[in-house]
Amino acid sequence: MDRRYFISSAVAIGAVAAFSRLPIGATLFSRPGNLRDGEGNSNQRSARAIKESSSKGIKKVTKTNAEWKSILTPEQYNVTREKGTERPFSSPLNDIHEQGIFECVACELPLFDSKAKFDSGTGWPSFYEPIAKENVHEEVDNSLWEARTEVVCARCDSHLGHVFPDGPKPTGLRYCMNGVALKFAKNAKDS
């Protein structure tokens, strides 16, 4: 590799990295749905992303912050809309071992079947797979010291938790979810 090529490549990579931190750079280099307004709120996903989710039978739910605050508890709002995290071992969903479905607390989209639930020992409800891959979106989360994979509801963009590659078979994944972002719907035949 010649020296000029190396230097010009390094300068170009550095410029892209610096440019991507500016507001216009973030717009150009971010994935749709990851954009934030000046108040830290997620902007609407791109028309293409909305069309894709609609084509899979998932109709988007959008509400203003005031509307979300009127239907969610303060803790639910903090987790689902502001990407907060509940305290470990605080969710009553950890102790649910009945058959049923875990839904998004904000829009009631079915997310996880109780058959995929397992005790990860982490203090949060954990699942090895979602009910349907299209019901959740996975996005890069660089908010801590390392990149993680954030899991959001495909219908309303609620923050649910994160997915890690240290789960059980058959997937090897651990969907580590905030209990306040979910609600449990017991199977009717088990009632």
pLDDT at 20: 37
* pTM as predicted: 0.69
Tokens read off for 26: 């973030």
Full pLDDT tens readout for the chain, 191 residues = 454 544 444 444 444 344 333 333 333 333 333 333 333 333 333 333 333 344 367 899 999 999 999 999 999 999 999 999 999 999 999 999 999 999 999 999 999 999 999 999 999 999 999 999 999 999 998 888 888 999 999 999 999 999 999 999 999 999 999 999 999 999 866 55
pLDDT at 38: 35
pLDDT at 174: 97
Catalytic residue among 107, 153, 156, 176: 176
- Residue among 122, 75, 116, 68 at smallest CA distance from 94: 122
Known catalytic residue at 156: no
- Cα 74 to Cα 84, 88, 104, 128, 190: the distances in Å are 11, 17, 16, 28, 31
CA 146, CA 45: separation in Å to the nearest integer? 25
The β-bridge partners of 112 are 102
pLDDT at 116: 97
